Amino acid sequence: MYQKILLAVDGSENSIRATEEVIKICQESNHPIQLEVVNALQEVRNSEIVLQQVKPDDVRRDGELRIQPNEEKLRNANIPYTRTIERGDAGKMIANKANNDAFDLVVIGTRGLNGFQKLVVGSVSTEVIKRANCPVLVVK
């Protein structure tokens, strides 16, 4: 069935549920699955650095802290995975990664943590569905 799965996470409740679905898929598989966990960090704009004194390293550290619950679930289930933290537009980055690295499936929550997503429900997952060449499992 699936040999390569890309799990997009951000630590949100929907992201945790997406992780739980991936665990089920991996545990029910008759063969090993190559799992990559990806977290997309929004680029820090110069205006944010000046106005809010946001440092790029703080954004990366915050991203790593947010996805710890996802990684803890995978470790507790003994699911091997690799982790990637990328910067950029989340929807485009996840879809491009899925396409460029020939993933068989992308698993993503319906909506995440950033402020824009709270206004436009599912904007990242919708972008991934439109752009990815492989199946996308959206978990709510």
Q: Which of 50-54, 84-88, 91-95, 121-125 has the highest mean pLDDT?
A: 91-95
User: In CATH, what number does 4-139 get?
Assistant: 3.40.50.620
Measure the CA–CA gap between 65 and 57, rounded to whole angstroms.
Answer: 12
Measure the CA–CA gap between 128 and 136, rounded to whole angstroms.
Answer: 8
Q: Which amino acid is at 13?
A: E
Measure the CA–CA gap between 44 and 31, rounded to whole angstroms.
Answer: 40
Residue tagged 């402020």 (tokens): 115
Least confident of 10-24, 30-44, 102-116, 122-136: 102-116
Q: What is the enclosing helix (H) or strand (E) of 49? A: helix 46-52
Q: What is the pLDDT of residues 13-39, one digit of tens each?
A: 999 999 999 999 999 999 999 999 999
Predicted pLDDT of residue 118: 45
Measure the CA–CA gap between 62 and 126, rounded to whole angstroms.
Answer: 24
Domain ranges of the chain: 4-139
Beta strand ranges found along the chain (DSSP E): 4-8, 34-41, 82-87, 105-109, 136-139
Predicted pLDDT of residue 11: 85
Between 67 and 7, where is the model more confident?
7
140: closest CA among 110, 101, 97? 110
Sign of the dihedral through C-alpha 119, 139, 105, 80:
positive
